[in-house]
Structure 1
Amino acid sequence: MTMFWILAAIMVVVSLGVLVRPLLAVKAPAIDDTAQTNLRVLRDAMAELDAELAAGELTAEQHAQARTELERRALEETADDDTRPSSAAPRGARASALALAVLVPATAVLLYAQLGDRRGLDPVLAQPPAHATAADIDTLVQRLADRMKADPADPQGWLLLGRAYAGLQRFDEARDAYREAMQRMTPDANLLADYADVLAMTQGRTLAGEPEKLVLQALTLDPDHLKSLALAGSAAFERGDPKAALAHWTRAKALAPPDSPFAGGLDPGIAEARAAAGLPADAPAPVPPTPAASAGGLQVSVRLDPALAGQLQPGDTLFVFARAAEGPRMPVAIARLPATAEPVQVTLDDSSAMMPAMRLSGQARVVVGARVSRTGNATPQPGDLEGESVPVAPSGTVELQIDRVRR
């Protein structure tokens, strides 16, 4: 599918959403069904757009332009909801979720091209469409901020707001919005890397401390996450470890499309890291370090209920996690691996922590869970396959069966 057809499909879906929802405002179930259908189509189209970039079928500039247009439309859709007739059901959370499904920060791809430099944290604000002024964008973002004040429980709205603020280089506000999102959802590699990025900007453009910890947590979830690899290299270079920086940047370059601006942007940093490490240009790069496992922890055996085996699809992702039996539902340890119908063994310990202040070893009792994700997103979605244990001690062995479908 070409970029034209992707954008055409998005425009049609958004237009239908604008026209149909007011007309069916008194039929709440029909509205929900339409929104869910639109949301699935939008997510599929955005995934295909990302796939075309990864395959080299789109340039970074084409990809950024397409997503910039989607960002504008998503924000306009969010703003337009304020003027539509209200239904009996709450509207704020649904509107924010729909906006998030199509909003990916327009700066992301262009920022990647800068990350080969060890100081590659300078923000690059993608140009909006010619007919949208800076004042228009500020107004749309302010409307979203006002909506989040009225409906602060919506985590995806905070995520959308954080990305919008980051694109406007309002990093203090972006940090606060990302922090709200982190407290309300299970963070994935994208959220952790983006939060680390803006946090670094608020502390003098350095990744030292909390930003680097967030980046390493992102790599625990997804070792091939390009932005996290690039940021990890920058952090290593900052603290005087050029060999670790070289390892991260070289891995990122190997994973990126060969002719992409991102891959080319890494070359100056790689050359500088080689020189600083005293390595000749043709010497093999070091292997990226992996987090050391802590003593003890949980040995988790996960198996899929045979009755659900037929629902397993190629490319599904298995998340195995532990959360406090009492308190926040954010995992204190998590592992990600390809989903399979065969039983798997997973170790959860402090090296699997999502947040430095929330570790497995600090819990009295935990609930261990496993979930097969269709999208690879750590946030639970309807249709995921899942199972949980009763509360157990944070060490020892646990046998877990995935035996239900999330509704």
Structure 2
Amino acid sequence: MTDFWLAAGLLLLVAASFVLLPALRGVGARREQDRTALNVTLYEERVGALREQQEAGILTAEQFSQGEAEAARELLADAENSEQNGVAGRSYGRWALLVSAFAIPVLAMALYWQWGAYDALQLARENQSAPPHSMEEITARLERSVKAQPDSAENWYFLGRSYMAMDRPADAAKAFAEAVRIAGRETELLAQWAQAQYFAGKVFSPEVRALTDEVLQKDPQEVTTLGLLGIAAFEEQRYADAIGFWQRLIDALPPQDPTAEAIAGGIARARERMAEAGETAPEVAKQPVSAGPEVTVQVSLHPSLRDKVAASDSVFVFAKANNGMPMPLAVKRLSVADLPAQVSLSDADAMMPQLKLSGFAEIIVQARISRSGDVKEGQWQGEVAPFSPSKAPVAVTIDRAL
């Protein structure tokens, strides 16, 4: 952070110089000189007027002498007062300027310390220079992040996930509550909040029930909520309900998802418990999973970029939530040779089962060209302003450099 403080100190010195220069140049002294010159001019004009009156016979020689002497006395009196006031004024003025020159940097630092982003800047530098190597270190940095940026829903979300990984569900519930307060009642946030509340007390409370009901009304295939409802039902020995929720969860997962095997093991254990109790396990038919809303995107390349790209360059079309979360919700990959092209994005293209287009009220669609084939190393991009996933087809033109 040395470079930051050097830059800040230089700017403060420049600001202070604007206050100090008038004092160093003696502006007050020049003003007093100008006033003395004016008094002398007025004296000469007054003596000249007395002489004209004497020549016209209005004043006698004795009256002229008295008037001239009085004008001289007044000139001397004004000079003495000016000198005394000037010394006092210059002294006071210089001290005021000097105090201001030192007060400006102090006040600026105090205001920046109160409302600036020094903590966030320091944390960003630390993350770049020394990435965390343990969950404890990650959590500690996220805790610092939410203190530095308390209105970042993304920071609160990842802090909650970190607390869950460290088996601190009560703290995670508070973090997810903050994320919901900032970002709104998105299904993923509500699902994580309900899960944290349940594991904090191992009780399926009315609050947890209300959250899970709200999530399933918005997204009947939300995987976190289905998994939680299955766990709660299993713990309460409602094995048939647990099998139903977990089977729905398996149906909602993408093919070859590694968690499906563990969930199938839970279904098998629930069936064993029902068999031990003399009950018949239900046969759950596999339900087709809805792809949810489908967003049609017309992607094109601005004519000014045609000579700057190659036909083999990769084109990524992806949708992101309009709440600050950086990870894409759905992605399709093309090449420049395919443009212009029409692309459809839906829940079936989700990168993570927990994050789907249907779970967000507003999304942003971006199209990015990458020579290396890495979406993080793009060279040109186009973007569509936030809109609802249910909106009519949208068009995005790749027209600006990254």
TM class by shorter chain equals: 0.3 to 0.5
Give the structure-1-normalised TM-score. Answer: 0.42
Bigger radius of gyration, 1 or 2? 2
Determine which structure has the larger helix proportion and give its number.
2
**Higher relative contact order, chain-length normalized (CA < 8 Å, sep 6+):** 1
Give the structure-2-normalised TM-score. Answer: 0.43
